[in-house]
């Protein structure tokens, strides 16, 4: 499936809003996208097309995989990154090639009032150094007509590859992919073995992913836009402020600069913008961690489902559904979840009769099955998320796990009344 195929499917299913009147890239388009919430296609952002909220809900994600929402976790936790990759010579991405780079021609948006500048928020940065490759989404702030400041988080793969190249006084070749098959975008956010993002996407898709080679040697998938260039070894620019998943501002840092040397794109390209702290951002950040938690909990008890909740920024709060076997299973599940996702702050473990997609049902479990002095696990002074405004300056925090499961030997006390058919 191509980027445009998925947009067409959204439209045919009646899930796509279209804005045909002129809209500004500065604040106006992001505000409309936030207010609408569902996928929205802008036909005229300063003369360009752009889409936002492409994967704005679990329903859209389930549609992407042709499964039900409840089965997302089971699909993701059972797919191995071993799909087929094919290298090809031609691509619709090469329809227009621009060697005179001017990023201001594209609808790169400024989202919030204190933003450091316009940001590319959906760019998959594909990099290669030595025999190691990586594909991952990074926020990219425009700092010149051909310059981007890239937030490279240590010790993630792009950061490591850039560090190795810099130590040898070399520029790191990269290509920034915007508007690829949404499965590829999702796969690039998932923690898979090094260099296996495209193989994972192919496995998720159940087909072949085609890649073509840029002039700097980087191989990329077909997409709407590709920015080709290099991360400079020493050059830095102040990056930020930027609104991250918590809806609060991340602080300004000196970050590496990417020099863009060439832009390729389809005729009349459709730019993809992800609204910071919006539903798509949360989904892309959170869902890839759910199978990690699922598989870790599966080692200690019978796990049924896992969700990182929207109220917890799809990153800091998890609900884990288990089929309890022994009284210790709840706390074991809590510890396994914290080990699998170190940024996790709070975990609630519930029984399999609780709907983990219903916040009222989760609250019911806490209200009727949790006893404060025996069912709450507190872990102090541990590594948390740097995005948590309540965390310490060194990243440490306090984590809390709630065992909101039934007492097995008294299970009849917790039986929920049913009306028969």
Give the residue numbers marked as catalytic.
244
Chain CA centroid to CA 384, Å: 18
DSSP tally for the chain: helices H, then strands E: 11, 23
Q: What are phi and psi of 72, to 5 degrees?
A: -55, -50
Collapsing DSSP states into helix, strand and coil, what is residue 402?
strand
Residue 18's contacts (CB-CB under 8 Å, 6 or more residues apart) are 11, 40, 41, 43
Contacts with 202 (C-beta within 8 Å, 6 or more apart), sequence order: 83, 84, 85, 208, 209
> Do 204 and 62 form a contact (C-beta atoms < 8 A)?
no
Tokens 């389930």 sit on residue: 62
| 275 neighbors 34 (Cβ within 8 angstroms) | yes
Q: Which of 204, 225, 276 minimizes the C-alpha distance to 94? A: 225
Tokens of 113: 């009032």
Question: Could you give the C-alpha distances from 236 to 233, 262, 363, in angstroms and in order?
Answer: 9, 21, 47
Question: By CB neighbour count within 10 A (0-12 exposed, 13-18 middle, 19+ buried), where does 355 fall?
Answer: middle
CA-based end-to-end distance of the chain: 43
Within 10 angstroms of residue 160's Cβ, the number of other Cβ atoms is: 17
Q: Could you give the CA distance from residue 385 to residue 391 in angstroms, rounded to a whole number?
A: 7
d(CA 386, CA 335): 20
Angle, in degrees to the nearest 10, between helices 329-340 and 290-298? 140
Joined tokens for residue 353 = 């009769």
Q: Cα(285)–Cα(289) distance, rounded to whole angstroms?
A: 8
- Contacts for 382 with CB less than 8 Å, ≥ 6 apart: 338, 396, 397, 398, 399
Task: Mark residue 64 as left, alpha or beta (left: phi above 0; alpha: psi -120 to 50; beta: remaining).
Answer: alpha
Helices (H), 66-104: 72-76
């Amino acid at each position: 499936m191509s980027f445009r195929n998925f947009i067409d499917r959204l439209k045919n299913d009646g899930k796509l809003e279209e804005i045909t009147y002129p809209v500004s890239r500065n604040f106006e388009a992001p505000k409309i996208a936030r207010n609408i919430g569902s996928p929205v296609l802008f036909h005229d952002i300063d003369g360009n097309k752009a889409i936002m909220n492409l994967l704005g809900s679990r329903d859209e994600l389930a549609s992407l995989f042709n499964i039900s929402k409840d089965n997302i976790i089971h699909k993701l936790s059972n797919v191995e990154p071993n799909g087929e990759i094919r290298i090809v010579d031609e691509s619709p991405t090469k329809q227009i090639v621009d060697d005179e780079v001017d990023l201001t021609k594209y609808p790169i948006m400024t989202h919030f009032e204190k933003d450091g500048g316009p940001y590319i928020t959906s760019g998959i940065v594909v990099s290669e150094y030595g025999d190691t490759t990586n594909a991952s989404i990074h926020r990219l702030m425009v700092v010149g007509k051909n310059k981007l400041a890239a937030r490279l988080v240590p010790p993630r793969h792009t950061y490591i590859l850039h560090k190795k190249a810099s130590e040898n006084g070399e520029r790191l070749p990269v290509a920034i992919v915007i508007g690829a098959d949404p499965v590829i975008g999702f796969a690039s956010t998932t923690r898979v073995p090094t260099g296996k993002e495209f193989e994972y996407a192919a496995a998720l898709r159940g087909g072949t992913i085609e890649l073509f080679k840029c002039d700097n040697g980087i191989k990329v998938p077909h997409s709407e836009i590709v920015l080709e260039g290099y991360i400079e070894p020493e050059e830095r620019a102040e990056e930020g402020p930027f609104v991250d998943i918590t809806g609060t501002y991340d602080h300004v840092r000196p970050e590496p600069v990417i020099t863009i040397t060439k832009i390729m794109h389809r005729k009349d390209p459709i730019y993809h913008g992800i609204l910071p702290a919006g539903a798509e951002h949360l989904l892309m950040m959170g869902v890839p961690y759910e199978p990690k938690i699922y598989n870790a909990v599966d080692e200690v008890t019978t796990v049924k489902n896992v969700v990182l909740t929207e109220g917890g920024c799809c990153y800091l709060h998890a609900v884990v559904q288990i089929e309890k076997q022994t009284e210790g299973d709840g706390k074991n599940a809590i510890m396994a979840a914290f080990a699998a996702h170190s940024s996790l702050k709070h975990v609630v473990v519930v029984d399999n009769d609780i709907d983990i997609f219903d916040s009222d049902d989760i609250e019911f479990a806490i209200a009727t099955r949790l006893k404060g002095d025996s069912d709450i696990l507190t872990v102090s002074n541990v590594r948390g998320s740097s995005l948590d405004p309540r965390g310490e300056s060194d990243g440490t925090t306090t984590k809390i796990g709630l065992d909101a499961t039934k007492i097995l030997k008294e299970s009849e006390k917790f039986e929920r009344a049913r009306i028969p058919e």
